[in-house]
Amino acid sequence: MESADDETLPARLRTTPSWLLFFTAAQAQRLMWAGMALLDVRRYHYALLAALEEFGPSSQAALGRRVGIDRSDVVAAINELVEQGLVDRTLDATDRRRNTITITAAGRRHLQRLDEMLAGVQEEFLAPLSTEERGKLMQLLTRVFDHHARG
């Protein structure tokens, strides 16, 4: 038999910003992951498709820089997306070191389905917050993120 509250987090983890952020992000990721697993996608795939849809065709190195995925992992993830017919890989005529990656029509359709799933997940995840509070949270996180992303 265990004491009444066997499962509260230690105060150090509840009150340290990095730790609270870590645990909250983990909850968000579990929800996203469950949704993505149903659609047979992982985090890397969605990030790459999102970048290709928004910014157009790109080399693999630029893609990786854009979404923070290592050059090596981009290779593997793009291999998988090519196999599924969600992107095309062609040689860059003007710079033969590069591949040009392009999202396909099927890739855009897939991305749209993922967007719909994600919207549902966000609603569930942010349920305890009002619209204003959600905006405030996003604003604060954006400030912190931008500070460390650029300078």
Which residues contact its own copies by CB under 8 A? Answer: 2, 6-18, 20-29, 31-32, 47, 50-51, 53-55, 62, 65-68, 115, 118, 121-122, 125-129, 133-134, 136-138, 140-149
> Mask of contacts with DNA, 39-78, x by CB under 7 A?
---xxx--------------xxxx-----xxxxxxxx--x
Residues in Cβ contact with 77 at an 8 Å cutoff, skipping those fewer than 6 apart? 44, 45, 48, 69
Buried b (16+ CB within 10 A) or exposed e, 49-60: bbbbeeeebbbb
Q: How far is CA 106 from CA 52, 82, 96, 98, in A?
A: 13, 11, 27, 23
Out of 19, 88, 98, 102, the residue judged to bind DNA by CB under 7 A? 98
Catalog residues that contact DNA under the rule CB under 7 A: 2, 26, 30, 42-44, 59-62, 68-75, 78-79, 89, 95-99
